[in-house]
Structure 1
């Protein structure tokens, strides 16, 4: 199946599915067929008589809700450019309020979640899972060090860390909603990393997040499209949003008394500014069907990638220099267990050490691997809080590193002998054990220091098990 569906992988080992996964040939064929068979008119051209494109958009919207087990009576889907655009849309709703909002975010937050703090009246980074749970339970409600505010509160966190794959509790939004200490608080879940290889179940609307951001290219490879899933009970947050775009209003005046009447038929009608991305949404419709046909659904993908990640993790920790010193230092959370998809995703984060314990810069390792057509991710991974905690560096050192010329994923990625970045492997639905073997052998042959008299064969690291999934 991999040879026929992913010809771009010939001679290449691709291990950056967390950046974007790859597009199968059958999805492109399906999309091209649909593009030639369906007339895609602008859905705004005749709203009283919906076109084929308008019907297709609504069908796809319901397909996404079904994929998430989300009842359309309680949830709506707003299509966006990507997960970051979905997060920005939520921020526009909260920042439009006269009183502003307070913002709490987990240390594992992607940069796109961290950036929300710039529009908040007050913000605080929850530096550990324990601090987050204490705050959610009301045991540390005044962590901002000021009197409790009457402003709305937005609490944001990733379902899965994009840095090391740690999966955080999906029970947190329910805890927040049940807490009497946080009566005007809302939850924003960044699900982009999680849903790339795992299902998300929103069937219990009482305990579900108020807002979920996601990107479809991380699941399917194509199209470049995202979505914001909104719990309708929280939809009033967007009453404060200032901006409006084409297609989201019933009436606008410009001369004299300037006013606007926004659409209220649905949240997506009010929030999808401009012409709907009809071609991308058609591609999404094709992608959902194709992905299910190829892989049997995200549940099967989760089983497969969890199995592979556990084996990769085990192989990396078994790599030793001639003197027994470890080759790799891994950055998994102590509460996460490889092979357990409730606590750990298909991501392995590590750095490389010499036999004397000195660090090898991640940029240098990444360059060596790319020369061997092995593609993964190095740098700070758009996860500033997670990286700082994993490496044990503080804001002062990072500022000094910046002033001395450090920039993410460049050759100057060491300060005082310590890396300011990591190496990240993310597996996908079409990853195989052979991909793991290629990476391990490259590290063994090019990084591991050997005593020639005791040097084993590189073949000792081969274990040609292909997959726990049935391939076509």
Structure 2
């Protein structure tokens, strides 16, 4: 087994990295961390990976012994009790905490330990005062909600001044505490790794020596202990309460602890709740009385049965961690060396114009060469050569392609984020109501980032991790004076287009159905008829499923059978013999049409989550439907429907607004049967004022952002040519990976104009001559061209993600075409920061009562229709490039 031992394996920060060091780490990773193969893992502050031998050793111990409930007297129960107390003592020794001075309470995680302290202080007579540092995790900040008074300390000096004033206060002075107080802070910021003084608890105790009531200290040591030792050997200087998470140190098991100074146990005596084995005796009928256990603090506070099997794994974790790494001091030396190298490498990156690529959020008093002031964490944002912020969501998309893992967003540290990003409270509230959420794509608001990228290192990180991330930033975000490939100047060139294909996606994120060339297809205000009217939802969370997580959804092939009145869905992958490879779903919403196996009771309307929106979708409760889709995706799911109509509540994203360029309509009011005849299209809403500055949102069904998506064949060809130069072994990208509704091609002999769509503001669809009549029922589409021309507003460019790398025929993933798009089409969108764009979002003009379509008029599109784009006038709201 590979281990790190000997002085040559662990070198001080100031020395050079020797080959033996890398060799030991690489061997250790290969043997103990097979899950890290071909992966760059930089999220150790979230959870560190667990070694293989830890799982093997704990599993072996569980197989060899029988562990019973510790609250019993059987031999197996007594074995559990002895094991729990042995592990408790071992955990205290891990912190150099004398069991005569400290007790340790096992909890689920650090947050559970914080809540236990909050319960005790909340139950104090008269409440309690609470102070916390702005670097606190949200778990610490949340305690203010149960405090009688609270205060947030913004700076180290502010805390020092408060302690000095506190030491001089006396009864009757403004700074004297009239009730119990609690001061909480993190040993290490989970945002950027800044380390706060461990001397504060001792200083606070000295400041409150003569005062009654006292102010106690609570230290969040979860982030600190992941890579550095915590010494509680001096009870006079130790925090009153310390919380930690063992999985941040060992990777497994998922356990935490609350360490309590026995001299600071008084507040817990007021805790009202009891449960499980924390009481000796209880009455619950005529007289209300109970007697708590008195032997130890942990007996009073560990409600319910302890997770004994996890504690067996914790014992093994101590063994394996010591055998592999020796001590936390060695890990601290190792991670400090790597984080300093990462910090210096990223700091040195420059664009061709000498501007820095990375803005790194480091406190001026912290140094990556001093582990007492800085942990192995680097927090940053990226800027382009024009000093414009790059969206962290876009960085994550590219990192996923390269299998690089880190964390972005608010990082559960609102105070640190607000301080480093200079966000005032009104900015945070405004961003929230503008649609910004931690982890979503709206992470650039008002031209500023709302979160950060966090890179955190751990015991098994190596130099290859550092090199891979730095090269990743160099490849995609350093501007070496290579401009993105944009369209050519279209002036003086015949740029008429025609409709090459029309496709719909009846079930969101599943396969497409290409409309037959001889059929006119209805364009509605929500998009093309029958497009994304259904979705697959997880049966537990009711969240809509996506190809991003389940690529095999591409193998679900829906078709619409108008003669049969059903949606047919075929799965082109393997299914169990008991499951048919095709299922049919009625198109009609009439309850009378829901016959066996779809009785009237088989339809329910419950809230579901689609792209972050809550929608009331009709869920098919048929076990046959659920069984079919569950078997196909190996995920418990079923089908739901969100039909068009007045109840539709989803709208296009706020950044996609109609562009007001008038196209003179040449239309007549003609009724004719079209797809979507049942249920009928609802009448349009009353007209909105025709103003150029009034924002509007368009209704959509289950599409991500807008009613209709169009791409250009010329742009796709140009992309494939570029990709062939940059990635010679990559397969050309078919149009299907972009999941467009309409593919537009240029009419011969026009000169191809790639990315001409960047300048479009509207599209006019002129119907081609009819190919001849075909028979059509009242509910089927018509092949005769009798509808007026259709005018589409171009709402904006379509921002892309790594989903374009999923082959829609085989459901396999690759790096392209997203890598090439990221290098050539990362552009500055309106209010969105830098995004990767390809294709344009569109909506029917007049679909929301705007000019162009009178009530009752139908608009259609068909393969072969001529399309005339309207281009943006010079200087008018253009999409900027990098």
TM-score (norm 2): 0.50
Instruction: Give CA-to-partner distance per residue, 1:119-175, whole Å, 9 cap, x none.
Output: 000001001111111112226999xx9774411000000000000000100000001
Equivalent residues in 2 for 1:446-461, closer than 5 Å: 446-451=476-481
Q: Does 1:289 align with 2:316?
A: no
| Residues 1:85 and 2:115 aligned together | no
Residue pair 1:137, 1:175 contacting (<8 A) in 2 also: no
Instruction: Confirm whether residue 437 of structure 1 aligns to residue 467 of structure 2.
Output: yes
Q: Is the 8 A contact 1:316 1:328 kept in 2?
A: yes
State whether structure 2 residue 330 is matched by structure 1 residue 303: no
**Structure 1 residues 64-73 or 352-361, which shifts more?**
352-361
Q: Does residue 123 of the first structure (1) align with residue 123 of the second (2)?
A: no
Does residue 158 of structure 1 match 2:204?
no
Whole-Å separation in 1 of the counterparts to 2:220 and 2:182: 13
Q: Distance in 1 between matches of 2:76 and 2:126?
A: 42
Cα distance, 1:49 vs structure 2: 10
Matched, 1:60 2:87: yes
Give the RMSD, CA atoms, in angstroms: 1.7
Q: 3-state DSSP class of the match of 1:310?
A: helix
2:440 is equivalent to residue 410 of structure 1: yes
Structure 1 residue aligned with 2:346: 316
Choose from 195, 203, 210 the match for 1:175: 203
| 1:73 equivalent in alignment to 2:91 | no
For the residues of structure 2 that align with 1:169 and 1:276, how far apart are their CA atoms? 33
Output the CA distance in 2 between the equivalents of 1:154 and 1:294.
38
Q: Which residue of 2 aligns with 1:227?
A: 257
CA change 1:6–1:413 in 2 (3 A) is same
Alpha-carbon distance in 2 for matches of 1:7, 1:431: 13
The structure with the greater share of residues assigned to strand is 2
CA contact (8 A) 2:359 2:381 kept: yes
For 1:212, the equivalent position in structure 2 comes to 242
> Is the partner of 1:138 in helix, strand or coil?
helix
Moved more, 176-185 or 247-256: 176-185
Task: After TM superposition, list the pairs within 5 Å mapping 1:323-334 onto structure 2.
Answer: 323-334=353-364
Query: Structure 1: which 4+ aligned runs deviate by more than 2 Å?
Result: 47-50, 139-142, 145-149, 180-183
Aligned partner of 1:468 in structure 2 is none
1:418-437 alignment runs, 5 A limit: 418-437=448-467
The correspondence for 1:336, drawn from 344, 351, 366, is 366
| Offset of residue 409 of structure 1 | 1.4
Instruction: Tell me the secondary structure at the aligned position of residue 380 of structure 2.
Output: strand
User: Which digits, 9 at most, give the CA deviation of each residue in 1:315-354, with x for residues without a partner?
Assistant: 0001110111000000011110002110000100000011
Q: Describe the SS at the equivalent of 2:204.
A: helix
Does structure 1 conserve the Cα–Cα contact (< 8 Å) formed by 2:359 and 2:382?
A: yes
Pair 1:107 & 2:137 matched: no
Whether contact under 8 Å (1:138, 1:182) holds in the other structure is: no
CA–CA distance in 1 between the matches of 2:74 and 2:113? 25
- Tell me the distance in 2 between the aligned counterparts of 1:20 and 1:49: 32
| C-alpha contact (below 8 Å) 1:215/1:225 kept by paired residues | yes
TM-score by length of 1: 0.93
The 1:322/1:364 distance shift into structure 2, 3 A limit, reads: same
Distance 1:136 1:331 in 2: 27
Shift in Å, 1:61:
0.4
1:348-401 Cα shifts (integer Å, max 9, x gaps): 000001111111122221221122100000000000101100101110110011
Find the aligned partners of 1:32 and 1:329 in 2 and give their Cα distance: 45
Q: Secondary structure at the match of 1:360?
A: coil
**Equivalence for 2:742:** none
State the partner residue of 1:267.
Answer: 297
Counterparts of 1:141 and 1:13, CA distance in 2 = 52
Bigger relative contact order, structure 1 or 2 (CA pairs below 8 A, ≥6 apart): 1
Task: Provide Cα deviations, 1:417-449, integer angstroms capped at 9, x if missing partner.
Answer: 100000000000000000000000010000110
Structure 2 counterpart of 1:37? 64
Give the distance between the partners of 1:141 and 1:294, measured in 2 at CA.
Answer: 49
Shift of 1:451: 3.0
Q: 1:46 aligns with which of 50, 54, 73?
A: 73
Whole-Å separation in 1 of the counterparts to 2:227 and 2:452: 22
Q: For 1:235 and 1:424, how far apart are their aligned partners in 2?
A: 37
Contact 2:381 2:452 in 1 (8 A): yes
Q: How far does the alpha carbon of each residue in 1:46-69 deviate from its partner, in whole angstroms, 9 at most, with x for none?
A: 299961111010000011111100
Larger radius of gyration: 2
Contact 2:68–2:78 at 8 Å: present in 1 too?
yes
Q: Which residue of 2 aligns with 1:4?
A: 31
* Structure 2, unaligned runs of 5 or more: 1-27, 484-882
Kept in 1, the 8 Å contact 2:380–2:453? The answer is yes
In the aligned structure 1, how far is the partner of 2:76 from the partner of 2:128? 41
Counterpart position of 1:390: 420
Q: Of residues 277, 284, 293 in structure 2, which corresponds to 1:247?
A: 277
Does the aligned pair in 2 maintain the 1:135–1:141 contact within 8 Å?
no
Question: Which secondary structure state, in structure 1, belongs to the residue aligned with residue 265 of structure 2?
Answer: helix
Structure 1 pair 370–262 and aligned structure 2 pair: CA distance change class (3 A): same
Match of 2:306 among 276, 279, 284: 276
Does the C-alpha gap of structure 1 residues 367 and 342 become closer, same or farther in structure 2, counting only changes over 3 Å? same
Q: Where does structure 1 lack aligned partners over 5 or more consecutive residues?
A: 454-472
Alpha-carbon offset, residue 253 of structure 1: 0.3
What is the number of equivalent residue pairs in this alignment? 451
* Partner of residue 398 from structure 2, selected from 332, 349, 368: 368
SS of the residue 2:98 aligns to: coil
Map Cα deviations across residues 187-228 of structure 1 (whole Å, 9 max, x no partner). Answer: 000000000000000000011000000000000000000000
